[in-house]
Structures are given as C-alpha cells and as structure tokens.
Amino acid sequence: MKKIYENKRIRVFWEPEKCVHSTNCLRGLPQVFDIHKRPWVNINAAEAEEIKRCIDTCPSGALSYEMLEMDKQ
C-alpha cells in the first residue's frame, strides 16, 4: 500500500509496511506527523523544505517525497 499526501510544493509517499518505527518523523516534525490524527500526515503544517529534511531522516524509506513546482496544481 502506498498513500500519497500532497500540496503545491511537495508530494509525500507513505508505505506503512516499510516502517521500522524509529519515530524520527514524529519527533522531527510533530505538527506534520501525528499518529493520533487522521490523516496522520498534515502536509500543510510546515514548509515543504522542513518536511523534506525530516523525511530525509527516515531510515526505512517508508516516507519518501517528490518536490513539486510552486505553480503546479
């Protein structure tokens, strides 16, 4: 399963079966990654660059991203 969360700046991919529960994402950007919320990824709660940097700390590849053009819908 691959879920996608996106806005104009960034597209985040979530593959739960790859997650090793390091909690890097939850500790790194708790306003974006919150397992108590639905959806658990709030893509608009931080700048795309911050989300990118946080996802770069994901050790398993469960979270990945693609940066998008600002003017792309």
Point out which residues bind ligand SF4 (CB under 6 A). 19-25, 58-60, 62-63
Least Å distance, CB 7 to ligand SF4, is 19
Choose between 18 and 44: whose C-beta lies nearer to ligand SF4: 18
Least Å distance, CB 71 to ligand SF4, is 29
Which ranges constitute the DSSP H helices of the chain?
Answer: 24-28, 48-55
CA atoms within 13 A on the CB side of 56: 7
Least Å distance, CB 70 to ligand SF4, is 26
Burial of 66 (0-12, 13-18, 19+ CB in 10 A): exposed
